[in-house]
């Protein structure tokens, strides 16, 4: 029987029986754990799956990295986009079939574990192409994929992330490389990773989760994917997306909860208070000590909250309950800078 988290006061994890946790921007940045992340994940007491679009590393390598922070993660707790890609690939292949791989060990290990054969050229007559990011991927790899795909075989991409964060800044991601092949072959890949549903479905099957929650830092992968799958979504403000992104998010990417850092998973939810000033028609949105006023199409900051997340949540409430999209509102610059 699943154990669902309960608390005396409402928290983002009430009624949840499993955590789905993104990695970069949530658990770590580069080589270092994000402050409060490790102890907060352990403190939930919930089974945890780690979902990553990164196709360049194996599940064992990811587990070792996470364990170095003190999380004691096993390989089977890591759900990768190559693993999700195998679910899409399986209906098309027989044992021993050749598969052209664009990418590194993260894909190769999964292909070989299922009894298929890794090839690198179109001349080897592959029965499918699997494409994922690896720093070593070059023009010759993309060209071989293009040659093979002109025959009409299945094409599975591990994920469509346009960019990836690296030590030097933001670099082209797998989506950019897939787009190059798409331009050459005039057809679309089938995607396995977030925000598509196969990765979430794989995690649910593996953990037998009944009511999971996805914790991530990106609206266009973590939150959109969770909403498409019908599970709870929690955005943490330690990674890519922050205030301006949230204000501009359409309904498909709006999380159920927004937290400052992972300590917020088990902290009480501070409610949003909405007050109408009848004499002016202005509406005030308050979270803790933060307050934002909506006056017609004008949104202004009345006062900052003690925590940035409170101000962001008040501003989001003002935008998301308006009778028009954010582009039809005049948002104060200090709100866009949150």
- Counting beta carbons within 10 angstroms of the beta carbon of residue 165, is it exposed (0 to 12), middle (13 to 18) or buried (19 or more)? middle
Q: Where are the beta strands (DSSP E) in 132-231?
A: 155-157, 163-166, 169-172, 190-191, 212-216
Contacts of 316 (CB under 8 A, 6+ apart): 246, 247, 254, 258
Q: Cα dist. 337→23, 88, 209, 235, 241 in Å?
A: 25, 41, 38, 18, 12
Question: Which residues does the annotation mark as catalytic?
Answer: 22, 24
39 contact partners, CB below 8 Å, separation of at least 6? none
- Angle of the 174-185 helix axis to the 139-149 helix axis, nearest 10: 50
Q: Residue 39: CA atoms inside 13 Å, Cβ hemisphere, count? A: 3
The answer to whether residues 47 and 3 touch, using CB atoms and an 8 Å cutoff, is: no
Which region holds residue 16: left if phi is over 0, alpha if psi is between -120 and 50, else beta?
A: beta
């Amino acid at each position: 029987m699943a154990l669902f988290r309960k608390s005396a006061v409402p928290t983002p994890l009430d009624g949840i029986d499993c955590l789905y946790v993104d990695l970069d921007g949530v658990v770590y940045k580069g080589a270092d754990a994000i402050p409060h992340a490790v102890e907060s994940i352990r403190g939930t007491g919930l089974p945890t799956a780690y979902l990553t679009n990164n196709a360049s590393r194996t599940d064992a390598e990811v587990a070792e990295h996470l364990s170095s922070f003190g999380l004691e993660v096993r390989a089977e707790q890591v759900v990768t986009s190559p693993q999700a890609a195998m679910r899409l690939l399986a209906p098309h292949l027989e044992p021993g079939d050749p598969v052209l791989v664009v990418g590194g060990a993260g894909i190769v290990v999964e292909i070989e574990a299922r009894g298929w054969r890794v090839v690198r050229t179109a001349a080897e007559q592959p029965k499918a192409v699997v494409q994922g990011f690896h720093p070593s991927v070059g023009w010759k790899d993309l060209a071989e994929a293009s040659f093979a795909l002109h025959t009409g075989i299945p094409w599975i991409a591990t994920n469509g992330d346009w960019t990836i964060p690296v030590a030097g800044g933001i670099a082209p991601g797998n989506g950019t490389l897939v787009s190059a092949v798409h331009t050459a072959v005039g057809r679309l890949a089938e995607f396995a990773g977030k925000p598509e549903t196969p990765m979430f479905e794989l995690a649910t099957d593996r953990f037998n989760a009944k009511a999971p929650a996805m914790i991530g830092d990106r609206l266009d992968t973590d939150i959109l994917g969770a909403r498409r799958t019908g599970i709870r979504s929690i955005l943490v403000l330690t990674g890519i997306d922050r205030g301006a992104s949230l204000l501009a998010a359409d309904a498909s990417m709006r999380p159920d909860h927004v937290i400052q850092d992972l300590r917020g998973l088990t902290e009480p939810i501070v409610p949003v208070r909405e007050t109408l000033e009848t004499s002016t028609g202005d509406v005030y949105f308050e979270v803790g000590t933060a307050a934002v006023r909506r006056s017609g199409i004008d949104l202004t900051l009345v006062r900052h909250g003690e925590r940035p997340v409170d101000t962001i949540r008040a501003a989001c409430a003002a935008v998301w309950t308006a009778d028009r999209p954010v582009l039809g509102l005049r948002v104060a610059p200090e709100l866009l800078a949150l």
